[in-house]
């Protein structure tokens, strides 16, 4: 069975990811398996490194590129406004609730596309009232874009699950409180209204909801899984990236009526596979290629970069993008491994519902059968540490590392149908809430029919390359710190 899978990529990948691996370069994976049959491929790190510091430590990697945005954690010191206010990170229970509301909307959308709407389990039946689901409060990664001329800096949520980019606009009918001043369209010399008769108005999808007195213009209305709504003018503007690189006539939503569970950010940057997404709008310039690296903690920074990288990131491994899951980003996951060993889970558990990778879901969600096997193996591998009761039934594998100085965690690997094996640093499997509470950042669905979701925790520090033109997704270690 193992012979049909190329482990070479995994070996390289693991070697460069593991801080402490008692392995030597040049071994084929099977040889390693024999020599270390009883041991796990592991990742050892200082417990103190699980906590964000109160001072931002900028990662310099990839920042020299022109087509780059800096990525920061909304709840950490690298988000400038936080230096002047006290930030309260959401609890783990809140994160799970928010994730579930988000996943509900992702699944509803995917199943609508594939005609299996009846399979959707509403969050209500999971005892999560939809109104209470904060689909965006905990989507924690922000990028700062420059909008208009002269440019105004706005922090938007990086979202591979959305198409439309929007921000709150003056004059505003209804706007929630945001950190940066609201974008005032009358103060920009490059602002252009899109007319209702312009073909691109079709991208706005719901042009029917016209506010009174302006029926010649193109309007958009976007509603999210948690009941949040943004409504306003579909417009064109100049968008400026970190290093003065500009995108002209960028289509975005100038939201004059916004409600919902947004938490001080100025709006959303949509990166999915639809025409309104920045990825498709800039197809000529960047060939539908972008990549991001999410920082290891709230006190480091990552990046979002457009266009192909030359040279390619070191040790990058590509796997096929599954077109059927578009506009989300689908992957052909067939298995999951821990410590270099593939777990005994039937491939069909993964392949029947399929898998997507998402920047906005925090935890990684697996079908129940797969989760149980994975969690049990994780607990065995972590039996040297005191396990404590988790904050909810959804977060059932937690540890108190406060008496330990370092921790050794098995490396997680994702196995794909095309033979690709991608290893993630073991540390990325953990979510740390406070000094006495760190939990496994994986959870399960109620329903085996739901797509697995590779969430953002496990993607931290990995350069994830979305090559839509080449229909592949790449993973490279050490994209940022
Ligand atoms: C900042 O990050 C660099 C690179 O990861 C590291 O070497 C350095 O010690 C960090 N500085 C602080 C103050 O944490
Ligand atoms: C927007 O800018 C215009 C022109 O400077 C100004 O007259 C108007 O008061 C501003 N609107 C708001 C709501 O600040
Ligand atoms: C865009 O439309 C609004 C509403 O009709 C109008 O007030 C504004 O002047 C228009 N802006 C431009 C640049 O045409
Ligand atoms: C997206 O754009 C392509 C090419 O311009 C067009 O063929 C397609 O119909 C558009 N899709 C939507 C939903 O507007
Ligand atoms: C894998 O699981 C199947 C079904 O649970 C079982 O029949 C089989 O013996 C297991 N294989 C190994 C190597 O444990
Ligand atoms: C971690 O600390 C706990 C509590 O002191 C201790 O029982 C356990 O052996 C330590 N684990 C390791 C691997 O040192
Ligand atoms: C960490 O958080 C948990 C859950 O809220 C709480 O029970 C525990 O007391 C906290 N520990 C510390 C050291 O604050």
Q: Does residue 203 have its Cβ closer than 6 Å to ligand 4? A: yes
255 contacts: CB under 8 Å, gap ≥ 6: 166, 167, 168, 169, 175, 230, 231, 232, 267
Dist. CA 274–CA 284, nearest whole Å: 15
Helix and strand tally (H, E) in the chain? 7, 30
Ligand whose nearest atom lies closest to the CA of 402: 6
**pLDDT in 10s for each residue of the chain, 481 residues:** 332 233 333 443 444 443 223 332 323 343 334 333 334 588 889 999 998 888 898 876 655 667 889 999 888 888 877 666 666 788 898 888 888 878 877 776 666 555 443 333 333 333 233 322 234 555 689 999 999 999 999 999 999 988 999 999 999 999 988 889 999 999 999 999 999 899 999 898 764 455 655 678 898 888 766 667 888 999 999 999 876 789 999 999 999 999 876 667 899 999 999 999 999 999 999 999 999 999 998 889 999 999 998 888 989 999 999 999 999 999 999 999 998 889 999 999 999 999 999 998 999 999 999 999 999 999 999 999 999 999 988 899 999 999 999 999 999 999 999 999 999 988 999 999 999 999 999 999 877 888 999 999 999 999 999 999 999 999 999 999 8
Q: Which residues are catalytic?
A: 159, 358
Determine which residue's CA is closest to atom 9 belonging to ligand 1: 57
Residue 131's CB is within 10 A of a number of other CB atoms, namely: 12
Pocket test for ligand 4, best of 273, 275, 284 (most atoms within 8 A of CB): 275
Closest approach atom of ligand 4 to CA 275: 1
Separation between Cα atoms, residue 351 and residue 113, nearest integer Å:
18
Q: State whether the Cα torsion 60-65-71-77 is positive or negative.
A: positive
The three-point CA angle 362-367-370 to 5° equals 105
CATH superfamily of 4-52+312-476: Acid Proteases (2.40.70.10)
Ligand nearest to the CA of 61: 1
Q: Which CATH class is domain 65-306?
A: mainly beta
Predicted TM-score (pTM) of the model is 0.88
Atom 5 of ligand 3, residue of closest alpha carbon: 214
3-state DSSP assignment of residue 8: helix
Q: Is 436 touching ligand 6 by the criterion CB < 6 Å?
A: no
In the reported structure, the alpha carbon of residue 276 is separated from the centroid of ligand 4 by a whole-number distance in angstroms of 9
Q: Could you tell me if the CB of 388 is within 6 A of ligand 6?
A: no
**Which residue's CA is the nearest one to ligand 3's atom 3?**
193
Q: Strands 68-73, 302-306: parallel, antiparallel or unpaired by DSSP? A: antiparallel
Rounded to the nearest angstrom, the distance between the alpha carbon of 346 and the centre of ligand 5 is: 9
Please identify, by atom number, the ligand 6 atom nearest to the C-alpha of residue 408.
Answer: 13
CATH 2.40.70.10 intervals, the chain = 4-52+312-476, 65-306
What's the CA dihedral at 414, 416, 421, 424 to 10 degrees?
-30
Q: Edge to edge, what strands does the sheet with 333-338 contain?
A: 341-342, 333-338, 412-416, 421-424
219 lines ligand 3 (CB under 6 A): no
Q: Please state, in angstroms and rounded to a whole number, the distance separating the CA atoms of residues 249 and 256.
A: 20
Query: Which DSSP string do the residues of 283-296 spell out, in sequence order?
Result: HHHHTTEEEEE--S
435 lines ligand 7 (CB under 6 A): yes
Phi then psi for residue 380, to 5 deg, are -65, -45
Query: For residue 63, which of 251, 243, 198, 325 has the smallest C-alpha distance?
Result: 243
> In terms of Cα–Cα distance, which of 54, 474, 17, 42 is closest to 289?
474
């Amino acid at each position: 069975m193992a012979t049909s899978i190329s482990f070479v990529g995994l070996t390289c990948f693991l070697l460069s990811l593991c801080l402490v691996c008692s392995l030597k370069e040049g071994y084929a994976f099977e040889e390693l398996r024999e020599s270390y049959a009883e041991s796990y491929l592991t990742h050892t790190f200082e417990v103190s490194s699980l906590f964000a510091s109160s001072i931002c430590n900028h990662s310099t990697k990839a920042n020299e590129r022109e087509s780059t945005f800096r990525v920061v954690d909304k709840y950490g010191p690298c988000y400038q406004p936080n230096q002047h206010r006290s930030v309260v990170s959401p609890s783990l229970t809140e994160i799970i609730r928010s994730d579930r509301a988000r996943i509900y909307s992702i699944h509803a959308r995917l199943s609508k596309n594939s005609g299996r709407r009846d399979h959707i389990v509403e969050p209500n039946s999971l005892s999560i009232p939809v109104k209470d689901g904060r689909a965006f409060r905990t989507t924690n990664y922000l990028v700062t874009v420059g909008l208009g001329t002269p440019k105004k800096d706005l922090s938007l949520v990086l979202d591979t699950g959305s198409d439309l980019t929007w921000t709150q606009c003056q004059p505003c009918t209804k706007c929630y409180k945001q950190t940066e001043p609201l974008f005032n369209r009358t103060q920009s010399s490059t602002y252009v209204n899109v007319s209702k008769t312009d073909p691109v108005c079709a991208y706005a999808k719901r042009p029917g909801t016209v506010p009174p007195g302006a029926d010649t213009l193109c309007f958009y209305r976007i509603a999210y899984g948690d009941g949040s709504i943004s409504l306003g003018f579909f417009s064109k503007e100049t968008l400026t990236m970190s290093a003065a690189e500009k995108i002209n006539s960028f289509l975005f939503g100038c939201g004059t009526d916004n409600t919902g569970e947004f938490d001080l950010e100025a709006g959303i940057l949509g990166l999915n596979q639809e025409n309104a997404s920045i990825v498709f709008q800039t197809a000529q310039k960047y060939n539908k290629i972008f990549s991001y690296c999410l920082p290891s903690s709230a006190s480091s920074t990552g990046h979002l970069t457009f266009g192909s990288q030359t040279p390619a990131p070191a040790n990058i491994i590509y796997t096929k993008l599954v077109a059927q899951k578009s506009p989300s980003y689908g992957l052909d996951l067939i298995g999951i491994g821990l410590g270099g060993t593939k777990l005994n889970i039937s491939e069909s558990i993964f392949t029947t519902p399929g898998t997507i990778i998402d920047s906005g879901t925090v935890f990684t969600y697996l079908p129940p059968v797969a989760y149980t096997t994975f969690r049990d193996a994780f607990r065995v591998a972590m039996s040297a540490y005191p396990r404590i009761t988790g904050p909810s039934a959804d977060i059932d594998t937690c540890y108190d590392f406060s008496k330990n100085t370092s921790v050794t965690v098995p490396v997680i690997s994702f196995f794909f149908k095309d033979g690709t094996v991608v290893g993630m640093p073991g540390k990325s499997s953990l979510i740390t809430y406070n000094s006495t509470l760190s939990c496994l950042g994986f959870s399960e669905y109620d329903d085996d029919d739901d797509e697995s979701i590779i969430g953002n925790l496990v993607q931290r520090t990995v350069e994830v390359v979305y090559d839509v033109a080449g229909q592949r997704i790449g993973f490279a270690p050490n994209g940022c710190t």
